[in-house]
Structure 1
């Protein structure tokens, strides 16, 4: 009986966040913003590079991370075209999103996205790539 209770507790803790779907723009990309309005992302198919997820953080310093369908993300600290945030799609805390090779999770601690092998986390307190 104790073992069954432990298994049930593990299953509850492992339950993934509820999934959301975002409306695609008339131009073929998907843009979403975290509830803090400090982090926003754009998912699109770029000619020549394939699928890309690009996320910007506005404060405390403006940075951008580009995650491609394959390989490690690239962090940009000197962004020439800051455009974050305010997308029509809100990415509520406690939810997840998946499209193509990318999956993301939104929490009060920040945004976390990956392409299956590599990814990044982004919040007001920092940005980490892996």
Structure 2
């Protein structure tokens, strides 16, 4: 067991993974991982419109389901993913009920019946089954 914990800690340090708190929308279609430095969300129904497909050249597989926002930058789709993403932690994710928000330092995500909005003050993204956009 100790070896497993050490291996997971080493993997997180090498990949820069900084997992914070997993949460999901009431429908379960969107699952996110939030920390004070970044929020990454995965939408199981896929981003609409889909990001341009590209060859990831060994840096993971093409993904059309994930978007990330840092504490100071613009939201960007994660088109080359080398890990399983937030949806893998759906079972342990806390439900962010409609009308509620979660705050991670400068990052704040709010769940509504229309979708999920995450922002860092200046920029952010909106995700729903029908569409997504960054701003």
Do they fold alike, i.e. is TM over 0.5? yes
For 1:1-130, list aligned pairs within 5 A. Answer: 29-44=20-35, 51-60=37-46, 62-77=64-79, 79-83=81-85, 84=87, 85-130=90-135
Aligned residues: 99
Distance 1:58 1:80, change over 3 A: farther
Q: Which segment drifts farther, 120-129 or 87-96? A: 87-96
Q: Return 5+ residue gaps in structure 2 as ranges.
A: 1-17, 48-63
For residues 32 and 111 of structure 1, the distance between their equivalents in structure 2, rounded to whole angstroms, comes to 11
For residues 79 and 127 of structure 1, the distance between their equivalents in structure 2, rounded to whole angstroms, comes to 19
Cα RMSD between the aligned structures? 2.1
Which of 1 and 2 has greater Rg?
1
SS at match of 1:59: coil
Distance 1:102 1:129, change over 3 A: same
Distance 1:30 1:107, change over 3 A: same
Q: Return 5+ residue gaps in structure 1 as ranges.
A: 1-26, 46-50
Which consecutive segments of 4 or more residues in structure 1 shift more than 4 A? 77-80
More helix by share: 2
SS at match of 2:28: coil
- Residue by residue, what CA displacement relative to the aligned partner does 1:62-84 show, whole Å, maximum 9, x if unpaired? 41111001111111345454441
For residues 43 and 114 of structure 1, the distance between their equivalents in structure 2, rounded to whole angstroms, comes to 12
Residue pair 2:30, 2:43 contacting (<8 A) in 1 also: yes
Residue pair 2:25, 2:97 contacting (<8 A) in 1 also: yes
